[in-house]
Amino acid sequence: MVEARFKIALIGEAWGEEEAQWGRPFIGKAGKQLDDLLEDAGINRAECFVTNVFNLRPGADSNDIKLLTVDKSDPAAARGLPALVPGHYLHSQYVEQIDRLLSELEECRPNVAVLLGNVPCWAILQRQAISKIRGTAAYSSRLPWLKCVPTYHPSAVLRQYDLRHVTVLDLQKAKRESEFPELRRPIREVHIAETIDDIREFKRLYLDTARRMAFDIETATQQITCIGFAGQIDRALVIPFVDGRKPSGSYWDTVDAELAAWDLVAAILDLPAEKIGQNTLYDIQYLWQLYGIPVRNYAHDTMILHHSLQPESDKGLGFLGSVYTNEPAWKAERKKGKFTIKRED
């Protein structure tokens, strides 16, 4: 029974040896690591609701979560839940543990649940791959009102110390998210150019007088498929050049229209605004070597700026988004294919 309402819920996987002995979560080595991580993030553990997906130890002398599973073909496999480990599903006798967890969360109604590792992500989000979804706030698929921030389990930090600073960053985000219950996403307007006049009008209204301008290209088969520009935080223009639905493969209906679009791209990149991008030397060399378009006043590279602040961190754009923004984990949502070959690290 949960006796109080908490802003933050911390959800682990299962008991270890010491937790099983005392019947409490996070009191062993992983618990000490969790205390240290919370302290560095400015979170008081006493003000958090702390629980596990499974209030039990998987085995008498083992913490292996696979011991709670059976093969998919086994009649005891729990239906309606994804695989807990590859090829293995939760044994139906443990479904009551999931029900207990959901009831606890319904009672304490936290503003945010911190999902410590793959198992709570499986139980609450019905997703795993913690390295891809960590750091991004998302609503639970099981409790639609519950906002969640996934991050690494303290045991993973004990095994791999370079995960520590990332986990602290995620916990700091969870602390910020704990001040309100709803998921707040930034509002963006992305304009996809349909005509040459669309490009001219956007340039005139939002780029000609911009002090700074972000730009980014997407490439495939040794050509630029599209290029994007943003002169302000909430509005961007995308100029496509490739469209596989058309017999010609070009987004533009005529050669003259495509050449006019490239002329406008060159004019935009020649504006005096400071240019910003992610691993922008890739974009610059592509624009110059294949299209003869220089970039005027290239000033900042977010990959390099982040690396100067946190040289031990991943430098990919997805990671930067998870740390510095409230954007969804868009990199994990994109379909894999041949259409993005730019490296971002």
Decide which of 221 and 174 is more confident: 174
> pLDDT at residue 1 above 90?
no
- Band (260; pLDDT cuts 50, 70, 90): very high
The pLDDT of residue 312 is 81
> pLDDT at residue 299 above 60?
yes
The pLDDT of residue 317 is 87
What's the rounded mean pLDDT across residues 8-29?
93
Contacts of 311 (CB under 8 A, 6+ apart): none
What's the rounded mean pLDDT across residues 49-67?
93
The arrangement of secondary structure in 8-177, i.e. its CATH architecture, is 3-Layer(aba) Sandwich (3.40)
What is the share, in percent, of the chain residues with pLDDT greater than 70?
Answer: 94
Using alpha carbons, select from 304, 326, 303, 325 the residue that is nearest to residue 316.
303
* pLDDT digits 0-9 by tens, 202-222: 999 999 999 999 999 999 988
What's the rounded mean pLDDT across residues 312-318?
85
The boundaries of every CATH 3.30.420.10 domain in the chain are 189-333
The pLDDT of residue 91 is 94
The pLDDT of residue 297 is 96
Alpha helices, DSSP H, located in 109-223? 118-120, 130-133, 154-159, 164-177, 196-202
> pLDDT at residue 342 above 90?
no
* 189-333 under CATH 3.30.420.10, yes or no: yes
The amino acid present at 58, given as its one-letter code, is P
- The rounded distance, in Å, linking the Cα atoms of 33 and 22 is 18
The pLDDT of residue 115 is 98
Decide which of 262 and 132 is more confident: 262
> pLDDT at residue 266 above 60?
yes
What's the rounded mean pLDDT across residues 70-86?
90
- Band (43; pLDDT cuts 50, 70, 90): very high
Decide which of 324 and 139 is more confident: 139
Neighbours of 43 (CB within 10 A): 23
Contacts of 61 (CB under 8 A, 6+ apart): 17
Decide which of 225 and 344 is more confident: 225
* pLDDT digits 0-9 by tens, 130-156: 988 999 999 999 999 999 999 999 999
What's the rounded mean pLDDT across residues 274-296?
95
Cα four-point dihedral sign 181, 185, 187, 193: negative
* pLDDT digits 0-9 by tens, 104-129: 999 999 999 999 999 999 999 999 88
The boundaries of every CATH 3.40.470.10 domain in the chain are 8-177
Decide which of 271 and 345 is more confident: 271
* pLDDT digits 0-9 by tens, 228-241: 999 999 999 999 99
Neighbours of 72 (CB within 10 A): 11
| Pairing mode of beta strands 235-240, 223-232 | antiparallel
Decide which of 265 and 315 is more confident: 265
Contact in structure between 212 and 225 (CB atoms under 8 Å): no
